[in-house]
Amino acid sequence: MNSDGLRQHREGLTTSHHDWTMIQVGKLVEHQKVITIDANASIEDACEVLLKHGISSAPVYNAESNTYVGMFDYSDLMTYILIVLKRMDVPLEDQTMEMRDLVQKTNSCQNVPVKLASDLSGKDPFCTVLTESRLGAVVNDFGTGIHRVAVIDSNGSVAGLLSQSSTLDYLLRHLSEFPQLQPVMQQTLQQLGLASSKVLYVNGDAQVLEALIMMSKHSVSSLAILDDQGILLGNVSMTDIQHIMKDLKTSWLWLSCFQFVARIRQLQGVERGEDQYPVLDVSATSTFGYALSKLQATRVHRLWVVNDMGLVVGVVSLTDVFKLLSTLLNS
């Protein structure tokens, strides 16, 4: 939509078609049950909250000060694990007071409260928007690499969490109401410049711990798993840590990535009665709409672009998707 169209928009105008950029984000989190983590809970108990509710992050709330002190997610957990195993060195000048306290407690085998580990990775800090903020502005934020925002109501409470995934799901479910989005859905990834990019990967025989170190080093949430010929074998992501924390299967950190993916597939088969491990690839000629539908259906954060020989030649992440949408919005 051009800038004239945005200026001509009048709030309250109701037709069968809507300007999606002007939707208030509070609408997207209506009736959402907000799961919070007590700031004094142990990291293990915080992980239990994520596992119990099937979520990847939650706000950390300090009842004593009546404030939210940050977010806790699997990226923070990964950083914590690497610090505990002494596989991650943080320069002293880069250490926060909380991080120094965490390291001290870890080294002396004391219980570590989750408030010390919230936002530990520094990758997804606690970002907030108001319920009346416009969706177009949040999409711009998501295009910069922010993965989620906390939506704050007039009382200063968290009304809900709005993530890249939930926003994509909303846009696709209501796509028929947003005609200005439909033309780009028919274009291919190649036409949009999304078909080739640098791919970060590990070989199938690399240890899971090595993959976590690499994800932390490069500030990414997942890696492709390739064989010696560059064929896609699977995917390892930060959220896979949940399978390690469940029943504390820490020995899985030393499995090969290929063995790890095989164990996860086996677990999902037992729990759900079938092989639920999704196929995470698309081709350069896949349409943008097809790629978005696949991201929505698999609930992953990135898809690997493969050529006719099955070689991985690129990656399309949710951040790439929102960067493209924000470019269209700003044009």
| Average pLDDT estimate for 258-263 | 90
Q: What sign does the CA torsion over 270, 302, 252, 241 have?
A: negative
Q: What is the DSSP letter of 158?
A: E
Separation CA 322–CA 302 (nearest Å): 12
Separation between Cα atoms, residue 303 and residue 68, nearest integer Å: 33
Q: How far apart are CA 150 and CA 28, in angstroms?
A: 12
pLDDT band (50, 70, 90) for residue 161: very high
How does residue 53 score in pLDDT terms, banded at 50, 70 and 90? Answer: very high
- For residues 20 and 6, what is the distance between their CA atoms, to the nearest angstrom? 10
Q: Which residues contact 123 (CB under 8 A, 6 or more apart)?
A: 75, 219
CA distances from 195 to 126, 138, 280, 292 (A): 32, 25, 14, 14
Dist. CA 48–CA 245, nearest whole Å: 8
pTM of the complete model? 0.85
Q: Is the pLDDT of residue 134 over 60?
A: yes
Contact 188, 286 (CB under 8 A): yes
Sign of CA dihedral 179, 183, 186, 191: negative
User: Taking a C-beta distance cutoff of 8 angstroms, is the pair 318, 326 a contact?
Assistant: no
Torsion sign (Cα): 300, 54, 60, 95 = negative
Spatial distance between the Cα atoms of 216 and 46, rounded to a whole number of angstroms: 20
Q: Phi-psi region for residue 308, left (φ > 0), alpha (ψ -120 to 50) or beta?
A: alpha
- Structure confidence by residue, pLDDT tens digits, 206-248: 999 999 999 999 989 899 999 999 899 889 998 888 888 776 6
| Closest C-alpha among 209, 285, 300, 311 to residue 254 | 209
Residues 300-325: tens digit of each pLDDT: 899 999 999 889 999 999 999 999 99
User: Position of tokens 């493969």?
Assistant: 306
Separation of alpha carbons 150 and 160, rounded Å: 6
Closest CA to 150 of 119, 118, 123, 128: 128
pLDDT at residue 260, rounded to an integer? 92
Residue 3: band (very low, low, confident or very high) from pLDDT cuts 50, 70, 90: very low
Whether residue 20 has pLDDT greater than 60: yes
Report d(CA 71, CA 126) in Å as an integer. Answer: 6
State the pLDDT at residue 248.
64
What pLDDT was estimated at residue 17? 55
- Name the residue with higher pLDDT: 23 or 102: 23
